[in-house]
Structure 1
Amino acid sequence: MALSRAERWLALLLRLLSRACLALLALLPPPPGPGPGARAVPPPRRELLLLPARRLAALLRARQVTCIEVVEAYVERIKEVNPLINAVVKDRFEEALQEAQQVDKLLSEGPGDDYLEEKFPLLGVPITVKEAFSLHGMPNTSGLVNRRNVIATSDATVVSRLKQAGAIPLGVTNCSELCMWYESSNRVYGRTNNPYDLQRIVGGSSGGEGGVLAAACSVIGVGSDIGGSIRMPAFFNGVFGHKPTTGVVPNDGQFPNAHGARTRFLCTGPMCRYAEDLEPVLRIMAGPGVSKLKLNEKVSLEKIKFHCMDHDGGSVFVSPVDKEILQAQKKVVEHIESDLGVRVQHVSIHKMKYSFQIWSAMMSSQDSNGEEAQRFTDLLGDHGKPVWPLWELMKWLVGMSSHTFPAIALGLTEKLMKLNHSGNAKLVSMGKSLQEEMEALLGQDGVLLYPSHPTIAPKHHSPICMPFNFAYTAIFNVLGLPVTQCPLGLGSEGLPLGIQLVAAAYNDHLTLAVARYLEKAFGGWVLPGKV
């Protein structure tokens, strides 16, 4: 399928704008940062900060540690490293300590461990929440200046469920403006830095969650994903992230929420430092919806049909995959084949070459009722007048816009995509065909190994020059497939490597099981600064 005229103009325009803006950024003085020589965050000093949620909850139930000790340790850690990474944008430390006291009081009253584990599986476990989700008493701006005074008066459904399970929120974390870019930076809270290298991005839009988890400032994170917003931050920060099968976990209580066709693509899911925590957190988040999954089925890894695809086939919109990422994926294939005694089938799916175009077309398509997706320019205005992207770009060039350049560029992209109606219809049809092809390939026992992103964590601002690299994650949103991002240790520059594990719809149990297996084989999350 040849590129349409609109697509060629889109690619050319955005690349020219990107390079022009990078040239302007190079003329600006560097932003204030850490002291000379500082690169990664310092390692945590408390062993309590290195425990998975399940083990931490078990220690609390066994009265081997108090909840006050746990929460105080995490509060101290956030105060130590947040000035470097700027991940927690609003804390609730006083409330968290009060809730810790209540947990200790409950434990002192002596209810049985079995009762506590069943009713409060995350009792006393500190968590953080992406600022796009409502957390009572916390800001809910999604990085939009027009919403800087918005305070949540209730909890999002998933947040409420986690709190009911005993989790203690420590605060809310940074995201990209309106959750539609893969660098977490906005005009409300500023920019978040990668714990492994403060000059690198944390990803987006759930970038604050990725950074805070990697820096050992939280145990569990709440993220959302419509184009890779859980998986890219998890990859760049060396932690685990799971995008569930579409429609299993409720998306209520976040801004912006999905409308029209996009309700089929937006997913809420868990982000964790340890693979063993993904499944129990997913169960809590999903609530009754968990019955659609097969989490109680025992997985025999030797019976899984593994498939591997090294790259998307050579899209002109996307960067080539880094050699280190390809090498890490090759090691995974070799380990699976030698350890499990199975053959990993290498596949080449031609339509994946058009991942970005398919995602873009399906994001702007109508739903079954003919309802169109809400325009991004309307969201930027937040119930006011829609934003004019070209006017905002001119304002941005002279430092007068309240929006980030990526948000403005997305508004321009939206305008151009609407000029290609016939091409979009063909791409939507191609997307449906690709979904059928994927489901047939994976079946009920297949897992696809696929790169999480073409590059390791880029330096700040550089995503502007490679704006479509999120296609490696975005394609699975429009296909509705469950995906687990799994870390694979650190590369030569001390930055995280990783891989996506993909299964057919409602087979989340397969990718979660493979993630636990690969964590044991490759070490999972690694402390920042450790090469």
Structure 2
Amino acid sequence: MKLLCCYLGFTLSHLHNYILTLVFVFDFLPNPNIHLHGLNVVCLQVSSVEVVQAYIDRIQEVNPLLNAVVKDRFAAALQEAAQVDKLIEEETGGEEVLEDRLPLLGVPLSVKESFALLGMPFTTGMISRRRVVATVDSPLVAQLKRAGAIPLGVTNTSELCMWGESHNHLYGITSNPYDLERTSGGSSGGEGSILGGAGAVIGVGSDIGGSIRIPCFFNGIFGHKTTPGVVSCENQYPPTSGRQDEYLSSGPMCRYAEDLLPMLKIMAGPKAHMLSLNTKVDLKKLRFFTIPHDGGSAFTYPVSKDLIDIQRKVVRRLEADFGVKVQEVQFPELRYGFQIWDTYMGLPDKEGKPPKPFAELMGEPGRPAWPVWELLKWMIGKSEHTLAAIGVGLLEVTRSSKASSFIIQQKEKLQKEVEELLGTDGVFFYPSHPRVAPKHHHPLFRPFDFTYTGIINILGLPITQCPLGLNEEGLPLGVQVVGGKLQDHLTLAVALYLENTFGGWRDPGAN
């Protein structure tokens, strides 16, 4: 079932500039000859209120189909937009002053519900937390708001953000804008869906095993998993424990590659200097590598032909356009990707304190859940938890309390080899997932396919997820672009090239 609809298509920078001058560029008319980046555009004078209202209208049009936005703040957003209009009218220092102080002035923003957004639900899909409302903004959200962004609402997640499909018994299931019968991914699936469906300009996600990249891949948009420790992950739920804060990253999600960099500068705040984001990148001077698959893991399915083919096409275009040689490499340790991810997620912190059990999180604010009992209740339709969350709880029970020395060795070897390969001027391409967006609930039958993203979390590397057009079924293709630690600017530069070469985000309604 295709989602047929027109779209609001413009980049953050275009939108901000037009708000500042009270001129706005639309290409949402159902006319294939009207494109934002071309010469044929329709220019209308509008206010910031009209911009926000246009996105509210868009959400109201598509959200009944997508179930991506689980709680809106439309009235407050319109009030904030009116304040933007007043600020512009009263500003005497010129547009440059406003642009420097408020680089996201009036830009509509969506927020993953696992981030604290003042006055909004803060449940992560847990029925037991259905009355929990955020009393503060998470630092990341606060920085975006201080830059002028206007949050429109919060978006759906998987239960406790630990599954590859955004489904829970509090809000229901989120659908993919390219095919409503398919998943939007998880855990930032609500973000991926509403952004892919053009319901917001920019959004934010968190990623400990692929929760930014998988939804971005499935929904045909761009996303960036930042080098860990740069963008704040405070005031998210659930909180990290053990060594999990080493693998969790927050980052931007959007339809246009050029929006990633300005968003990341704001989200990184005082640590932005660590990422050399102002450094100009010459792609001809980079070293490129491609890894076509994980070497045949027993836990993951083989990468589909259309994804293998599109990654090869990327390689051929790079070689033709820049005269570089893209070297194919393989790391045998990747076949142990799931075991590595699972082992390191369970390691204790420096004080020897182990991670908080998932069953304990499932039971909060009460007693820990019993996964086996919840499974029996689920069988008769009485559990408050999804089968996926129950499965995660059961899997945790089977995890050995003692880490395998073999798996530790494989990880350390892989880490050393990858860091030596990349250095400060290398990037590699790696499949985002073994297949394009599957049907709803099908990830239950392939639960470990997230390993293609999860292993990169354990290595602590930055990754930009890039859309690469659509397959014959009209579903998004894509690839991960991976760089060395703190070399986020390299993967963002490659994302711009891939967008220009392969077209970037595609309108779901055009298929």
TM-score of the superposed pair, with normalisation by structure 1: 0.91
Which residue is 1:50 aligned to?
9
Q: Deviations over 1:437-481 (max 9, x none)?
A: 111010110000000110000000100000000000000111100
Offset at residue 39 of structure 1 (A): 2.2
Contact 1:41/1:84 (8 A) holds in 2: no
1:223 aligns with 2:186: no
Match of 1:276 among 246, 250, 258: 258
1:255 aligns with 2:218: no
Offset at residue 384 of structure 1 (A): 1.9
1:346 aligns with 2:346: no
In structure 1, how many angstroms separate the alpha carbons of the residues matched to 2:240 and 2:503? Answer: 36
Q: 1:90 aligns to what SS in structure 2?
A: strand
Match of 1:201 among 164, 183, 186: 183
Contact 1:88/1:208 (8 A) holds in 2: yes
1:488 aligns with 2:459: no
Which residue is 2:104 aligned to?
122
Which residue is 1:39 aligned to?
2
1:61 aligns with 2:42: no
Q: 2:240 aligns to what SS in structure 1?
A: coil
In structure 2, how many angstroms separate the alpha carbons of the residues matched to 1:429 and 1:125? Answer: 47
Query: What pairs with 1:135-214 in structure 2 (closer than 5 Å)?
Result: 135-214=117-196
In structure 2, how many angstroms separate the alpha carbons of the residues matched to 1:467 and 1:253? Answer: 28
Offset at residue 429 of structure 1 (A): 3.3
Match of 1:83 among 64, 86, 89: 64
In structure 2, how many angstroms separate the alpha carbons of the residues matched to 1:338 and 1:156? Answer: 45
Q: 2:182 aligns to what SS in structure 1?
A: coil
Offset at residue 432 of structure 1 (A): 2.4
1:450 aligns with 2:430: yes
Contact 2:358/2:393 (8 A) holds in 1: yes
Match of 1:108 among 89, 114, 118: 89
Which residue is 2:34 aligned to?
none
Which residue is 2:491 aligned to?
511
Offset at residue 405 of structure 1 (A): 0.3
Q: 2:296 aligns to what SS in structure 1?
A: coil
Aligned AA (1:70): V
1:328 aligns with 2:310: yes
Q: Deviations over 1:114-167 (max 9, x none)?
A: 111111000000000000111011000000111000011110100000000000
Which residue is 1:16 aligned to?
none
Aligned AA (1:311): H
Which residue is 1:74 aligned to?
55
1:266 aligns with 2:248: yes
Which residue is 2:417 aligned to?
437
In structure 2, how many angstroms separate the alpha carbons of the residues matched to 1:94 and 1:232? Answer: 32
Which residue is 1:18 aligned to?
none
Runs of 4+ in structure 1 over 3 Å off:
none
Match of 1:416 among 398, 408, 413: 398
In structure 2, how many angstroms separate the alpha carbons of the residues matched to 1:304 and 1:294? Answer: 16
Which residue is 1:426 aligned to?
406
1:461 aligns with 2:441: yes
CA RMSD of aligned residues (A): 1.0
Offset at residue 258 of structure 1 (A): 1.1
In structure 1, how many angstroms separate the alpha carbons of the residues matched to 2:15 and 2:349? Answer: 44
Which residue is 1:392 aligned to?
374
Contact 1:365/1:372 (8 A) holds in 2: yes
Which residue is 2:222 aligned to?
240
Q: Deviations over 1:40-64 (max 9, x none)?
A: 24222xxxx2111111001111221
Contact 2:81/2:106 (8 A) holds in 1: yes
Aligned AA (1:377): A
Q: 1:521 aligns to what SS in structure 2?
A: helix
In structure 1, how many angstroms separate the alpha carbons of the residues matched to 2:506 and 2:177? Answer: 11
In structure 2, how many angstroms separate the alpha carbons of the residues matched to 1:281 and 1:369? Answer: 35
1:299 aligns with 2:258: no
Offset at residue 529 of structure 1 (A): 3.8
Q: 2:510 aligns to what SS in structure 1?
A: coil
Offset at residue 431 of structure 1 (A): 1.6
In structure 2, how many angstroms separate the alpha carbons of the residues matched to 1:242 and 1:41? Answer: 28
Summarize the Cα distance change of 1:521–1:422 in structure 2 as closer, same or farther, 3 Å threshold.
closer
Aligned AA (2:290): C
In structure 1, how many angstroms separate the alpha carbons of the residues matched to 2:467 and 2:313? Answer: 13
Aligned AA (2:82): Q
Aligned AA (2:122): N
Offset at residue 368 of structure 1 (A): 2.2
Q: Deviations over 1:320-345 (max 9, x none)?
A: 10101111111100000000110000
Match of 2:358 among 376, 395, 409: 376
Q: Percent identity?
A: 55
Which residue is 1:11 aligned to?
none
Contact 2:125/2:168 (8 A) holds in 1: yes
Q: Deviations over 1:336-388 (max 9, x none)?
A: 00001100000011101111110000000112221211111111111321111
Which residue is 1:26 aligned to?
none
Aligned AA (1:482): P
In structure 1, how many angstroms separate the alpha carbons of the residues matched to 2:326 and 2:342? Answer: 31
Aligned AA (1:63): L
Which residue is 1:524 aligned to?
504
Q: 1:55 aligns to what SS in structure 2?
A: helix
Which residue is 1:19 aligned to?
none
In structure 2, how many angstroms separate the alpha carbons of the residues matched to 1:206 and 1:389? Answer: 24
Q: 2:325 aligns to what SS in structure 1?
A: coil
In structure 1, how many angstroms separate the alpha carbons of the residues matched to 2:135 and 2:357? Answer: 26
Q: Deviations over 1:156-214 (max 9, x none)?
A: 10000000000000000000000000000001000000000000000000000000001
Q: How many residues align?
A: 488
TM-score of the superposed pair, with normalisation by structure 2: 0.94
Contact 2:347/2:403 (8 A) holds in 1: no
Aligned AA (1:184): S
Q: 1:50 aligns to what SS in structure 2?
A: coil
In structure 2, how many angstroms separate the alpha carbons of the residues matched to 1:119 and 1:216? Answer: 27
Q: Deviations over 1:397-418 (max 9, x none)?
A: 1101000001000011111112
In structure 1, how many angstroms separate the alpha carbons of the residues matched to 2:357 and 2:465? Answer: 29
Offset at residue 422 of structure 1 (A): 4.8
Which residue is 2:37 aligned to?
none
Aligned AA (1:101): A
Q: Deviations over 1:486-523 (max 9, x none)?
A: 00011100000000000010000000000001000000
In structure 1, how many angstroms separate the alpha carbons of the residues matched to 2:56 and 2:70? Answer: 14
